[in-house]
Amino acid sequence: MHWGRTIAGGFIAEVMLMIAVMPGFAMGSEPVVIWTAVTGAGVVTFLAALWVARSLESRFVAHGALTGLAATLIYLIPVLAAGVTQPAVYWLGHALKILGGAAGGLYAARRMAHSKTALKASV
């Protein structure tokens, strides 16, 4: 397992998510922030998992799911330690981070298999 890259991918996903919700904060709209965070959670971890998978040769889905888990923990540990409550819908966002990461890993695995097939066909 490439733990360093996986954790870095989780951090990158959280930074991308923070950037995505900034317009909602600027507008002062809590519903925009919440729904951008929830819907964007899967998208950013999908993209981060693609970055993590660039150097992989196996276990793409596991690395992707762990990227999502890392992103979730990077967010949750300080929030829970501070005793801050969050809307219940955020738990959906956390699940989407893990699923989005796994989907990114699956996409990367299929892309790798396709490129290997194409390479064999050209030889």
Query: Per-residue pLDDT tens for 99-117?
Result: 999 999 999 999 887 776 6
Cα 43 to chain center, whole Å?
A: 7
Backbone phi, psi, residue 13, to 5°:
-60, -45
Domain that holds residue 94: 3-122
State the pLDDT at residue 25: 87
Tokens encoding 103: 């989907």
Exposed/middle/buried for 53, CB within 10 Å: 0-12, 13-18, 19+?
A: buried
Tokens 């699956």 locate to 106
Tokens encoding 10: 């989780």
Total domain count for the chain? 1
* CA-atom Rg of the chain in angstroms: 16
State the pLDDT at residue 39: 92
User: What SS3 state is found at 122?
Assistant: helix
pTM to 2 decimals?
0.87
